[in-house]
Structure 1
C-alpha cells in the first residue's frame, strides 16, 4: 500500500497540472476528454463506495458471531476494503486536482493500524494434506474450509453422527499447484483477461479448467488420499463418495454458495480426478467473474475439499431449528423426501413436514405427509439417478416418530452449541442411522424471497405497514417521534421509534437509545443502514409515504424481519427475539475481527458542516468513504463552471423553451445515430433519464399554457432600480446560454434565466445507493428583500417535496439522495417546472405573505399566478 501511495503522488501532480479547473483549455478535443474523464472518475467513485458499503455490511454480519470464518476471510475483506477506499480517495483527488491529498495520509495511517493487528496472528498451516474429520474442529477453518470444520466440530464436540470422511486440506491444494508450477502459468493467462469481455473470459476459463485437470497428481498427495480411504474403508472398492468443495479465503461457504463444484457418487478410483475437477472449478467463468467483482485476490485463495462416504439414504431432507420466516414460531421444522437430499433442498418434490416442540419431551405437534412420486438415488456404478418411488410408499411418511424425535434432538443440540438457529441437512441411511450432512446459521428471512415466504400478519393487531426493505434486522417497540431535521434529535426520547422521510447517518446520535428506525427512503447498503446494524437498531426502509400513518406519540412495534409495522406493543414479537451469544464470539479469530473492524466500520463523520469533517478527521475506512462521497458531489456540481468557459463545442436543444440550452453529450445521453438538424437536437433523441425528466418538466403543458404574468408596478420598479444601480448585472442577464452535460444516468445542468442562475447535478440509475439530486439557486433582478423571499418560496416547495434545504441570503441549496430512479425522475421533473415557474417571480414578492402564497400555488399545480397578496 505504501508503494502504491508513493507512486500515485507524481501521477496526481501530472493530472492536476493537465486537468486543473484553473488551467486554460484551448483544444476542444481536450475539453471533450476532460468532461468524459471527470465523469468516469465519478462513476468509479460511486461504484467503489457501493462495494465498500457491501463489505461493511458483511463484516457487520460476521460480528454477530454466527458464521464460520478464519483469518483468510479477514485478510480478504481487509484487502477489499482498502482497495475500494483507495479507489475513492484516488478518484476524488484526480477529480479535484489534488485538493484532498490529506486523505492519503489518513488511509496510510488506517492501513498501518490494520496491518499491525493482522501481523500479530497469522493463519495456521495445515499439518498435512489429508486429515480425518475426527482431528478437525471449527478453529481449523483456515486450512480445512467451512464445511470440513463444521463436520469435524459436530462429530467431535457433540458426538452426533456425520458421514465417514476426511478433508483434503489447503496443503494438498498448494502441493498440487507447486508440483505442476500452475500459479505462474494461470497468472499469465489471467493477465490477458478483461472480465467484461465474455467470450475471452469463457475461453480463458475453459483453457484454465483443462490445464488444471490435465496435470498429474503429486505422488505424495495421491498416496495420502489413498491412505485416507484405506484407513476408513479398508479394501472395499464398492464405496462411493461425495466430493464437496470447502473453499478457504471467503466467509465459510456463504458468499460463494453455488460457485464451486460438488460431485456425488464418485468411485474410489476416480477420487483424484474428481479432486482436480473441484479445485479447477476455482477458475470457472462465473467464479473468476465473481471474485473479480468482489475484489478477492487469487493469491489469497485456496481450496480444501471434503471427501465423504455417500449415504445411500432411505430418506433425507432439511431441518430448521426454528421457523425460517416466522420469528414467533420457535418449533423445530423437519422436511423429508425419499432418497437423496437434493430433491428436498432444490424443491423438486413437495416434502413431508413435521413440527416438533423444543421442550424436554420433543412433542410432535403436526405431521403433513405429501405424495412423493420420484426420488434421487445412488447409481452403484457411480453418480446419481432419478427413480420412481414404489407405489406403496409414495404417500407414506418418510420418518417414524422415533426418528423424528432423534433428529429434533440433534437440531436442538446444534442450536445450543452454535448459540443461534440452524439450517441442517440430514440423511437416514440404509441401516436406519440418522446422519447430519451440514449445519449452518439459519437466516430468519432473506431479502430476496421474504415477500413470498413471510408469515401472515399477527392477528389482533392493526397493521400499519405491510411491506418494506430491511436495513437492520430485529424487533423494536415504542412511541413514534418524527424527525425532520438534526435539531429534532436534541431531545429525542429514550426508547422512541424514529420516523423520518429519509435516511441519514446523523441519526447515529440517538441509535444507542432509540427502539427502531423507520424511513420512507434510503438504501439498505447506505451509511445509515451500516450504522443501524452496528448498533443493532431494527431499521426498515418503506419506499412509500408513511409519515402521515405514523403520527408522533403513537406506540408502534417494528418487525424488521418481515418489514411490518403494527400499532401498539406486540409482546409476541418482542418475546421471540433473544440475544444469544453465537459460537464464534470469544474465539481468537473473532477477537481479531473485532479489533480490525474498529478501523473499518465505525462512522464518525456524520455532519459535513462539522469542523472535524476533514481528511485528518477520517479515522476509519467508513469515514474515508463518507468524506469522498460528500465531496464527489461538490466536484461534479462545479463541472458547470467548466462548461461556461467555452462556447464552440456543444449542440443546441430544439425545444420551445424560454432559454438557450446547449448539450454536451458524454457519449450515452442521446440515441445512437441521432440526427442533428439546423435547429439542434430534438427532445425525442434524448435518452439521458435525468435530462429527459428535466426537459419534460420544463415543457409541462400547464406551464406552457400560462400567459405572461400581470405586471406589478412596484415589483417592476424594484427590478429596474436594481438593474440601473447595481453594477455587473448585465453579466447575468436573461438570454445567456444554459448548458446540460449529459450521460444515460447523469445530468449537470447550469441555467441562466432572467437575472438568476441555477445548477442541477443528478444521477439516476437502478442502484438506489448511487442516486441523488443537488440543486442550487441564486440571484435575481429585484432588491435583496424580494430575492430572499423568492428563495424562501423555493425552499418551502422543495422541503415539501422531500429535499433537504439550506437558505443563505438570496441562495438556496438542496439535496435529495438514495431514492429509486422513478422518484428521482419525478423530482427532476419538478425542478424543471420550478425553473420555469420562478421566472420573474421576484417581481411578485411584494410582501411576506407572497412567500407561502407562491409555494402553495406551485404545489397545487396552479402556475397561473394573479395579483400577489398584500400585508394586512
Structure 2
C-alpha cells in the first residue's frame, strides 16, 4: 500500500502537479476534520475527569478508542500529503495508544464455575460472592450470630450469562451514550438494558444449579428471598437501596427472580450511583443471595454506633435500633417512619430512649444491640446491620455493612443568622447545611431532572432519589428515617436530610428560598450565602484512574513548532501527536507548489495595515485575476467571499491597533513564557486557506488562537460557520471572563456555543449567504476587540459595558 501511494505521489508530482495539489487539498480538508474530532474527544475526556460531565466508564473507554482510531486516520491524511516524511509516525501513535488503553482497561471477567455455593464455601471465594454475601460469609462462624441458610449465585454466573447471550457489546453501546445530565436518555437506555437482561436465555449449566439450590431451600413450600450481592456493594460505596430484592419467590420462579435482581443493576438510580462512584459496569457484576423468607414479627436496622444525626443529644455512646412491624422493606425504602431506640454501649447496656409502644420487647432490643456491637468488633468499624425477629423471638442477621462515610467536606454548624425558623427539632437523617430553591415532588418516583442546588420536598425517602443526589442541597420528607437506604447515601454525599416533617408538601412551595440545618433539625426562611450554591460542581477526579492516564492523553508539551524538539520522538501524549500532525499539515499546505506554480497558486503574504503577519493560500478562485504575478496580495485582491467578510470586520476603523505585531510587552512575555515562544517564531503567523466560497483561517495572537472554518455561497444548505477560540495569556479567571464575553456576543447572534476548559466552540447552521457574511464580519470585529482582553478583565461586572460598546460598534459597520 505504501509503495503504491509513493509511486502515485511521485508520478503526479512529475506529470500532473495539479492532481497532486488537489489530492493534498482534499487530504488537508479531511485532516482538519479529524483534528477537530480528536480535540473534541480530548476535551470530552477532560470534562469527565474534572467532574463537569458525569458519564459511564464505558464512555471513557469508547472515547479513547475513538481517539486512537481518529489519530491513525489523521496520520494517514498527513502521509497522503507527504508519503516520505512521516513514515514512522504511526509507530509513535501505536506506542502512546498502548499506554492509554492499558490505563483505561478493566480486568477481564471471570466465567468459570462453581456458579452456586453456600456461605461457608463463599469464604474461599469472597470476590465472586459479592459484597453482601461476602460479609455474611465472614461472620458465618461467629458464635451467637444467627444466619439464615443461604446459597450464593456467583458473580461469575452473571458474566457467563452476559457472555453466552452476547450482551456485552449491546450493554456497552448504551452505557457509552449515558450522561447523568440527560435524565430522559438515561431512563430510555436503562429500560433497554433491563429488557436485554429479562429477555435473554438462561444457560442450562447455571439454570440447573440455581434450580437445585432453590428446591433445597424451598422445601415444604417455603418462599424464598432473592437479594442482590453485587461486587463493590456494601463496601466503600454502600450501594444502599440501589438494587432490587425479590420476596416471596417460589422455587419454580427462581430463574425469573434472578433475572429481575440482575436487571436492577441497570435501573437509572443504580447506574447513576455507580457512575458517581467512578466504577465500571464490569467491575460491579451481580452476585445473588437466595435465602428462605422469615415469618417476621418485626425487623429493622441497627447502627452499632448511633449516627451523629441522632446521638448529638446523648451523653454516652449508644447503639441505635430502628424497627417496624413485619418485614423491614418499607423501613429501608424510606416509606415509613421507624421506631427508634437508643441502647448504651456500656458493659451493662441499658435502654436510654425507646418508643412508647415499641414493636420490639426490651430484652430483644438489648440482644440486637449486643449482636451489632459484636459485629462492630469483628469487622473493626461501625456496622449498619439489618435484622429480623421471628415468632420464636429468634434474631437473624440478614446483612452487615460498614456505615458509609461522607466523602465531601462537611459543614455541621449553621453560621450565625437572623432567619425565621419554619420548622424545628425534626428528625435528622443526614447531617449538613444547605440553602436553595424548593422543588416539591410529592411522589419521589416522579423525579426526573432537578436544577443544581435544589432543596427537595417529598413524602418519602425512596432510593430512587439517589439518581439526583448530585443536584441536591437538601431534602425535607414527611416520612422516612435515618435507617432508610437513601439516608445512607445522603450521608455519603453530605446532603442534609430531615424527615417526619408534617405536611411539608403542602406548606412549602416551588421556588421558595430556604435553608435546611441537618444538625439541629431546623428549616429557615431564606438562604445563607455560604450555604447556597445553585450550581454545585461534582467533586473533581470522579474517576481517579482517568487522572492517572490523562497526561498520556491530554497534556500538551509540544509547544514551539520552530524548536528541534517539535518532533514525533518528543510526543509525550496523544494531544502532542494531534498538535504535531496539525502543524505539519499546515506546513505542507504552505509548501504545496513548486516555482512554476502549476495547478494552484502558492501562499502569499497579505499586505495589511494591521500589525498581523498573514499568509493566504489560494486553492481555487479565492483571488481576483489582479493578483496574478504578485508576490504579496492586497485586500482588494481577495475574491473569497468568506475571507473578505471576516477581514472586513477584523480591519474595521472602529478598532485601534498598535504598530507592533505583539500587543503587549515582549520582554515581559518572554520572561513569562520562559523563552518557549520567540518573536520570530512561525507560531505567531496567521494564515487563511481560501477558495471562492470556502475559508479555513487560523489567527494567532500570542498565547491564544482562533480558527474560523466556513462555507459561504449561494447554496444555503451548504453554508455554515465553525469557530474555535482557545488559550490566552491572562490568569485562569481572566481567560474565563473573556470566554464569557465572547459567548454573550455569539449566543445573541444565533451561534450554538459549547465550552470545555479554555476552549470555546461555536457553530452557526445553514443560512442565506448575506447572513453568513454578516456573521463573519461580526467574528472579525469580535476577534479584533478581544485580543489581549483577558489581560484586562477582572470582574464579571466588567462585561456589561463591554457588551454595550461592542453592539454599538457592530451597528456602525456597513456591510
Normalised by the shorter chain, which TM-score bucket? 0.3 to 0.5
In the superposition, the TM-score normalised over structure 2's length comes to 0.47
